[in-house]
Amino acid sequence: MLALTAVSFLALTAVQAPAPKPVTPTSIVEGAPASAWTDIPAEDLLVMQLTGGKRVVIQLAPLFAPVHVANIRALARGNWWEGATVYRVQDNYVVQWGNNESERPLPAGVVEKPPAEYARPQAGLTVHPLGFEDPYAAKAGFASGWPVALYDDGYASLAHCYAYVGVGRGLSPDTGTGGELYAVIGHAPRHLDRNIAVVGRVIEGIEHLSSLPRGTEALGFYGQESQYVPIERITLASELPAGDRPAFQYLDSSSDSFAAYVRARANRKDDFFIRPAGGVDLCNAAVPIRKTPAS
Amino acid sequence: MLALTAVSFLALTAVQAPAPKPVTPTSIVEGAPASAWTDIPAEDLLVMQLTGGKRVVIQLAPLFAPVHVANIRALARGNWWEGATVYRVQDNYVVQWGNNESERPLPAGVVEKPPAEYARPQAGLTVHPLGFEDPYAAKAGFASGWPVALYDDGYASLAHCYAYVGVGRGLSPDTGTGGELYAVIGHAPRHLDRNIAVVGRVIEGIEHLSSLPRGTEALGFYGQESQYVPIERITLASELPAGDRPAFQYLDSSSDSFAAYVRARANRKDDFFIRPAGGVDLCNAAVPIRKTPAS
């Protein structure tokens, strides 16, 4: 009985049974046709190699923060992050990395004071509505594979969900160059939406960041340099030899499969769930990502 | 400038300035009168000691799951968790511990099949409304220091927020004894509300759980026993010598300070924030907890 408790607790897939398998978020994603998946361009993939062979892959979001994303590409190409570290881990909040307190000059092409890309016009976005209330915005939904909060002023922001990546900045009017980045490792701090440039999300290896020791200084900074976690290199996938490039796809938020996936996230009906929630919040319907299948 | 970026990024407290300090969630909590704080009874505190001197303190919630909480007290008094381990760590989901797959007999007084304490009548609860929409329930609020989701059927559930503790169970009708427990270590999995007994929350030391290495088996189980994290002991604070007992208080959710705190969480106005959200979700207004001040 206790073995059953452990093994079946929170099981995400259906158990074997003669009855038809229930439709689950997992079964919908696994059954989605190839046409529902969209390739992520190699220049939108930032590969961060930590010590110990730990790889973190970040998908960039030029649709929402084009100048910051262009900066990040230029910082990577200019090898600006050489010697960078993870220097801050605040529980239930963020992991932050870069060249903290460095005076390192910015590579050519980096815009020193980017515009405040904290929201963008809704015009031009094709939004699949979440279909449930959002406590932070007038509406919530998904556009081109990204979770978006939609405001009454006609603007949309990329939401601060788990594993999403933003740009550290000082007090306004500073907007950050993109040199100092953070990833969310706790409950979505949605109050940061429209206050910071969100530039993408970790799509592989978030566990290498979220399991790091928490910093014990204020705001989770590590107190001693010996605690800093070395970053071996940060490279755009498009700069890697073709054979070494990671390749990923996201489930197109305008596909039927995506709509079915969101409905299933809101109404879990596998053998474990007794009462489907009948709703889901924006950050609990994580956009499905997969490695590009071998063709 | 980069130093500023790092130090002031996401600063939660006001920077020094000649202008009056803005009212922040932190300043409200720090300024709350002693009368706004409520002592947590020692028999509601479960002290879990991990190897390496790491202490985790859990506040139990008898108001919501009285039979499961009584079981947990009996399991602790009966030393049922001797030899227990943390055996599952699933990223952005849960850390789970207990005597997985053990056939250890239950101590006297433990109810083997507790009722399904997944929700309770709203009658009898004094609810301070959150004041913003909830994607999962008809309304959300706080009762006796706990975040609650309120449904149209007249029931209330304790919400699965970050650090909240639930009871592992098998498939229904199993409800779990309380011997296998988990804590949330990611974005609130609110779809578990009304499906599992929530019995409390980690109020100290969640970082000792959330920073553990993730399990690589299905659902985050550790694949090898050598990965299991030993638990030295689990004890009720009321069973400890008076001098060794941890003592905590929560900010009373019916106090003026609590109401001001929630308003401030929804409308952050320190020097860092440009656009206050104007809203907050239930799990982002964490109930303030503090160590009981020396009298």
> Nearest residue of B to residue A267 by CA position?
B191
> Nearest residue of A to residue B151 by CA position?
A277
- For an interface test with A, the pick among B9, B132, B139, B177 (most A C-beta atoms closer than 10 Å) comes out as B9
Question: 3-state SS of chain B?
Answer: CHHHHHHHCCCCCCCCCCCCCCCCHHHHHHHCCHHHEEECCHHHEEEEEEHHHEEEEEEECCCCCHHHHHHHHHHHHCCCCCCCEEEEEECCCEEEEECCCCCCCCCCCCCCCCCCCCCEECCCCCEEECCCCCCCCCEEEEECCEEEEECCCCEEEECCCCCEEEECCCCCCCCCCCCCEEEECCCCCHHHCCCCCEEEEEEECHHHHHCCCCCCCHHHECCCHHHCEEEEEEEEHHHCCHHHCCCEEEECCCCHHHHHHHHHHHCCCCCCCCCCCCCCCHHHCCCCEEECCCC
- Give the model's pLDDT for residue B18: 57
If you average pLDDT over every residue of chain A, what do you get?
A: 93
Please give the residue that has the higher pLDDT: either A19 or A112: A112
Inform me whether the pLDDT recorded for A14 exceeds 90.
no
* Mean pLDDT confidence for A223-233: 96
* Mean pLDDT confidence for A96-116: 93
Nearest Cα of chain B lies from the Cα of A128 at a distance, in angstroms, of 17
Do B162 and A3 make contact, defined as CB atoms within 8 angstroms? no
- Give the model's pLDDT for residue B3: 32
> Nearest residue of B to residue A266 by CA position?
B191
Chain B residues close to A83, C-beta within 8 Å: none
Do A6 and B88 make contact, defined as CB atoms within 8 angstroms? yes
Nearest Cα of chain B lies from the Cα of A114 at a distance, in angstroms, of 14
- Give the model's pLDDT for residue B9: 46
Do B91 and A206 make contact, defined as CB atoms within 8 angstroms? yes
Model confidence pLDDT, tens digit, residues A157-213: 999 999 999 999 999 999 999 999 999 999 999 999 999 999 999 999 999 999 999
Q: Tell me the sheet residues that pair with A146.
A: A143
- Give the model's pLDDT for residue A22: 81
Where does the pLDDT of residue B197 fall: very low under 50, low under 70, confident under 90, or very high at 90 and above? very high
Whether B8 contacts A171, CB under 8 Å: yes
- Rounded to the nearest angstrom, the gap between the alpha carbon of residue B171 and the centroid of all alpha carbons in its chain is 24
Model confidence pLDDT, tens digit, residues A67-81: 999 999 999 999 999
A44 C-beta neighbours (distance < 10 Å), count: 20
Where does the pLDDT of residue B8 fall: very low under 50, low under 70, confident under 90, or very high at 90 and above? very low
Inform me whether the pLDDT recorded for B42 exceeds 70.
yes
pTM for the predicted model, two decimal places: 0.94
Nearest Cα of chain A lies from the Cα of B243 at a distance, in angstroms, of 26
Where does the pLDDT of residue A269 fall: very low under 50, low under 70, confident under 90, or very high at 90 and above? confident
* Mean pLDDT confidence for B139-160: 98
Inform me whether the pLDDT recorded for A19 exceeds 90.
no
- Entry field: residues in chain B: 295
Where does the pLDDT of residue A15 fall: very low under 50, low under 70, confident under 90, or very high at 90 and above? very low
Question: 3-state SS of chain A?
Answer: CHHHHHHHCCCCCCCCCCCCCCCCHHHHHHHCCHHHEEECCHHHEEEEEECCCEEEEEEECCCCCHHHHHHHHHHHHCCCCCCCEEEEEECCCEEEEECCCCCCCCCCCCCCCCCCCCCEECCCCCEEECCCCCCCCCEEEEECCEEEEECCCCEEEECCCCCEEEECCCCCCCCCCCCCEEEECCCCCHHHCCCCCEEEEEEECHHHHHCCCCCCCHHHECCCHHHCEEEEEEEEHHHCCHHHCCCEEEECCCCHHHHHHHHHHHCCCCCCCCCCCCCCCHHHCCCCEEECCCC
- Give the model's pLDDT for residue B212: 98
- Give the model's pLDDT for residue A289: 98
Inform me whether the pLDDT recorded for B295 exceeds 90.
no
The interface pTM score, or ipTM, of the predicted complex is 0.93
Where does the pLDDT of residue B152 fall: very low under 50, low under 70, confident under 90, or very high at 90 and above? very high
- Sheet containing A127-129, strands listed edge to edge, beginning at the edge strand earlier in sequence: A120-121, A155-158, A146-150, A139-143, A127-129
Nearest Cα of chain B lies from the Cα of A214 at a distance, in angstroms, of 7
- Give the model's pLDDT for residue B19: 63
Model confidence pLDDT, tens digit, residues B225-256: 999 999 999 999 999 999 999 999 999 999 99
- Give the model's pLDDT for residue A253: 96
* Mean pLDDT confidence for A84-112: 94
- Give the model's pLDDT for residue B178: 97
- Give the model's pLDDT for residue A21: 74
- Percentage of residues in chain B with pLDDT exceeding 90? 88
Inform me whether the pLDDT recorded for B223 exceeds 90.
yes
Inform me whether the pLDDT recorded for B112 exceeds 90.
yes
Q: Tell me the sheet residues that pair with A197.
A: none
Where does the pLDDT of residue A103 fall: very low under 50, low under 70, confident under 90, or very high at 90 and above? confident
Do B100 and A2 make contact, defined as CB atoms within 8 angstroms? yes
Nearest Cα of chain A lies from the Cα of B50 at a distance, in angstroms, of 15
Model confidence pLDDT, tens digit, residues A29-68: 999 999 999 999 999 999 999 999 999 999 999 999 999 9
- Give the model's pLDDT for residue A270: 83
Q: A71-75, A235-239, A291-295, B256-260: lowest mean pLDDT where? A: A291-295
Please give the residue that has the higher pLDDT: either A272 or A88: A88
- Give the model's pLDDT for residue A16: 46
Model confidence pLDDT, tens digit, residues A238-268: 999 999 999 999 999 999 999 999 999 999 9
- Percentage of residues in chain B with pLDDT exceeding 70? 93
> Nearest residue of B to residue A206 by CA position?
B91
Whether A174 contacts A115, CB under 8 Å: no
Do B275 and A190 make contact, defined as CB atoms within 8 angstroms? no
For residues B277 and B16, what is the distance between their CA atoms, to the nearest angstrom? 24
